A and B are shown apart, each in its own frame.
Chain A
């Protein structure tokens, strides 16, 4: 019985630990997506000389 309780405690602790580790990964992905949106707005540039495609 004691062994079973210890095994259950270890299982719960491991599961909680994995959930805590996952959270920062989600935050990083959100930050990258925001940056990309800001950089791609290129419509207001006037080309004075070069090969830029003006949309």
Chain B
């Protein structure tokens, strides 16, 4: 179907793609600019799905994968509404040493930590499979073929997780069951490839 274009993607809050993202060797490669904020999202929205993709982070790099991103002028960044699976160089980025490990690669950012042993180092590809199912109120994440976490995605249990995180009091965070998939510009080089999604019926 698609292998050579950004047809399914656009910049957050834009109709077109950001220029920092280019096609390279079958992957989408992001090179940061001084502008910043070049987050991208899928044109399509999803509710219940399995998302599969591969990511590769640069040395000391940081990026992320969002779901349920809600686009609105009052939310300037995708991370204000969409929960994030962290993409990070655990060995060299300072974020790996804070927040009880919940800022490490593969973590549900600031909520659930992913063990180190399931993450490949910077410069290597990592396979990430995220399942979000509001019908069963279950989120599941596997990294490189290992299930690393299982968590609620709405209701009281989810609200408690948000309350105990840095997102407490954020107006739109984790509130929308339907939204865009997003990839983050965190000011570092990052690559993504083989991105596919299956809607759960």
Interface residues of A (CB under 8 A from B): 44-52, 54
Decide: A44 near B192, CB < 8 A? Known: A49-B9, A50-B26, A51-B3: no
Report B's interface with A, CB cutoff 8 A. Answer: 1-3, 6, 8-9, 26, 28, 42, 44, 52-53, 181, 192-199
Residue numbers in A under 8 Å from B53 (CB-CB)? 48
Q: Kindly state the separation between the CA atoms of A49 and B3 in the bound complex, as whole angstroms.
A: 6
User: Within 8 Å CB of A52, what residues of B?
Assistant: 1, 3, 194, 196
Verify B2–A50 contact, CB threshold 8 A. yes
Roughly how many angstroms separate A46 CA and B51 CA in the complex, as a whole number? 10
Mostly helix, strand, loop or mixed at chain B's interface? strand
Closest to A53 in B: B1
* Given A45-B198, A50-B3, 5 extra CB contacts under 8 A: A46-B196, A47-B2, A48-B8, A48-B195, A54-B1
A-B contact count (CB 8 A): 52
Q: Within the complex, what minimum Cβ distance (angstroms) separates B162 from chain A? A: 27
- B181 to chain A minimum Cβ distance, whole angstroms, is 7
B3–A48 contact, CB under 8 A? no
B194 touches A46 (CB 8 A): no
Least Cβ–Cβ distance between A49 and chain B, in angstroms: 4
CB closest chain-B residue, reference A43: B198
Chain B residues with CB under 8 Å of A49's CB are: 2-3, 6, 8-9, 28, 192-195
Given the complex of chains A and B, what is the CA–CA distance between A42 and B198 in angstroms?
9
B126 shortest CB reach to chain A, Å: 15
List the B residue with the shortest CB-CB distance to A52. B196
Chain B residues within 8 Å of A54, by CB: 1
| Cα of A50 to Cα of B53 in the assembled complex, Å | 9
- 9 CB contacts below 8 A, A to B, read A45-B198, A46-B1, A46-B197, A46-B198, A46-B199, A48-B42, A49-B6, A50-B194, A50-B196
